[in-house]
């Protein structure tokens, strides 16, 4: 029987919790020998919705998309540096579109065993309008999902890695 | 950070006391200042005003979504102001605006900013929710409505 976790994907969205998730995923990859993929999805679907809703102007759409692409580069580079510091290799993947759908597609494409995401909102609204993309991905991906909590402990774990 | 994490009674003002558009923007930014969420009031107001100068963020059905980017904030900031009588905000449909959703983010947080704005856009499509917000009697009630409690 093969190892239970052969390929880990960590979802990065520019939040502190997603960076913590990346640190934990690096620790997991280091200890299990699993391959590690960092995935950042540029939420162009939301930008298009905002343009349709007339909250965004056309040049705002372009500006925010450009900013989001720069954020993607910056955060993936940072996560790459975090992994390199601990001698863990990482594949960086960027996508654009509907976030939860792109995550699910990436999980299938890469045959991911474990999706790692940052801590979800502590407040669970019953309003349908407030849904978290990461939470939606958690519900729709075909693989197991690990939600990382306890920033301080994760930081200590990461720091203690050889 | 999800929009719902930002909803607390401290960032909700009902009713707004302002009677015109410039005052509404000042009052909303003041809500953030009074809640201890921003330090540089002028920089935040300027960011919101800069966006407003391009085109009014007053939409249809009595809703406005003033927003801006500024390095004067380190994380996403949200405030909600409600004016049950309506204020002329130069909206797209020419009608008075009653709900003002203010969102300000740091320049390197476009992703969370976009997602929070998208949450507001979805909320604004619900006539029943908007009506309930306008008729609410306190900031606590508004917060409960937004959380679905």
The pLDDT tens digits for A120-155 are: 876 555 555 556 788 888 888 999 999 999 999 999
Nearest-Cα distance to chain A for B108, in Å, is: 6
Contact A46 B117 (CB under 8 A): yes
On whether the CB atoms of residues B22 and B1 are closer than 8 A, the answer is no
When CB atoms are compared, the residue of B67, B112, B121 closest to A53 is B121
Q: Strand pairing partners for A94?
A: A40
State the Cα torsion A149-A153-A158-A160 to the nearest 10°: -160
* Per-residue pLDDT tens over the stretch B8-49: 999 999 999 999 999 999 999 999 999 999 999 999 999 999
Residues in chain B: 149
Mutate to test the interface with A, among B68, B70, B102, B114 (most CBs of A within 10 A): B114
The answer to whether the predicted template modeling score (pTM) of the entire model surpasses 0.90 is no
Q: Which of B11, B114, B66, B3 is nearest to A130 (CA)?
A: B3
What pLDDT is stored for residue A128 in this prediction? 54
B113 counts as catalytic: no
ipTM over 0.85: yes
Contacts of B54 in chain A (CB under 8 A): 57
């Amino acid at each position: 029987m093969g190892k239970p976790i052969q390929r880990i994907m960590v979802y990065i969205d520019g939040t502190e919790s997603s960076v913590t998730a990346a640190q934990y995923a690096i620790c997991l990859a280091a200890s299990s020998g699993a391959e590690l993929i960092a995935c950042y999805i540029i939420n162009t679907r939301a930008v298009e919705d905002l343009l349709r809703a007339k909250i965004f102007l056309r040049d705002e759409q372009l500006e925010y998309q450009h900013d989001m692409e720069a954020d993607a580069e910056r955060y993936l580079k940072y996560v790459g540096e975090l992994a390199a510091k601990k001698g863990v290799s990482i594949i960086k993947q960027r996508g654009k579109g509907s976030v939860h759908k792109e995550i699910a597609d990436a999980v299938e494409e890469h045959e991911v065993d474990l999706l790692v995401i940052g801590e979800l909102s502590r407040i669970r609204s019953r309003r349908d309008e407030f849904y978290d993309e990461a939470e939606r991905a958690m519900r729709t991906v075909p693989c197991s999902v690990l939600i990382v909590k306890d920033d301080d402990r994760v930081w200590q774990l990461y720091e203690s890695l050889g | 950070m999800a929009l719902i994490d930002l909803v607390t009674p401290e960032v909700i003002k009902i009713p707004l006391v302002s009677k015109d558009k410039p005052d509404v923007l000042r009052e909303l930014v003041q809500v953030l200042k009074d809640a201890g969420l921003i330090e540089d009031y002028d920089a935040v107001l300027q960011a919101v005003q800069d966006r407003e100068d391009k085109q009014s963020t007053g939409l249809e059905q009595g809703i406005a979504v003033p927003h801006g980017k500024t390095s004067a904030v380190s994380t996403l900031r949200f405030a909600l102001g409600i004016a049950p009588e309506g204020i002329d905000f130069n909206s797209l449909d020419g009608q008075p605006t009653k709900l003002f959703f203010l969102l300000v983010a740091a320049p390197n947080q476009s992703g969370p900013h976009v997602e929070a704005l998208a949450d507001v856009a979805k909320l604004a499509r619900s006539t029943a929710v908007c009506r309930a917000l306008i008729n609410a009697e306190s900031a606590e009630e508004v917060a409960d409505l937004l959380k679905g409690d």
